Amino acid sequence: MTLLKNSFEVVDILPVDTNSCRVIGRAYDDIRVGDVLFMEDTTPDHEMEERQFEVTAIYFHSVWVTEINRGDTAHLTLAGEVIEKLKYGTVLGKPTL
């Protein structure tokens, strides 16, 4: 299990297709296109698993950008295999160094 640093809190989710969605929320850390964000999830056997989502686009103040800073509110387009696991209030993280 990787130690994660809180990086983005999800406040709304807009499905794009089966493997991607746009999430609206606030950054707790700098985020760039290409970053991989993780979510801890519980399996049916009550074991912890990490789900990962790649940031494929960032929409900030009506402009597509390549990065946002801590404290910014933005839309992130995420790609991953279990998009349906994302929920309101989910906090996504990046591995600590």
Domains of the chain: 8-85 (2.40.30.10)
Instruction: Please list the residues that pair with 75 across neighbouring strands.
Output: 24, 59
The pTM assigned to this predicted structure is 0.89
- What pLDDT sits at residue 71? 96
Which segments of 1-97 are extended strands (E)? 4-17, 20-27, 31-32, 36-42, 48-60, 63-65, 67-68, 73-79, 91-95
Give the amino acid at 73: T
Per-residue pLDDT of the chain (97 residues; tens, 9 = 90+): 568 899 999 999 998 888 899 999 999 999 999 999 999 876 667 677 788 999 999 999 999 999 999 999 999 999 997 677 788 899 999 988 7
- What pLDDT sits at residue 51? 87
Could you identify the residue written with the tokens 């794009």? 16
- Report d(CA 4, CA 75) in Å as an integer: 21
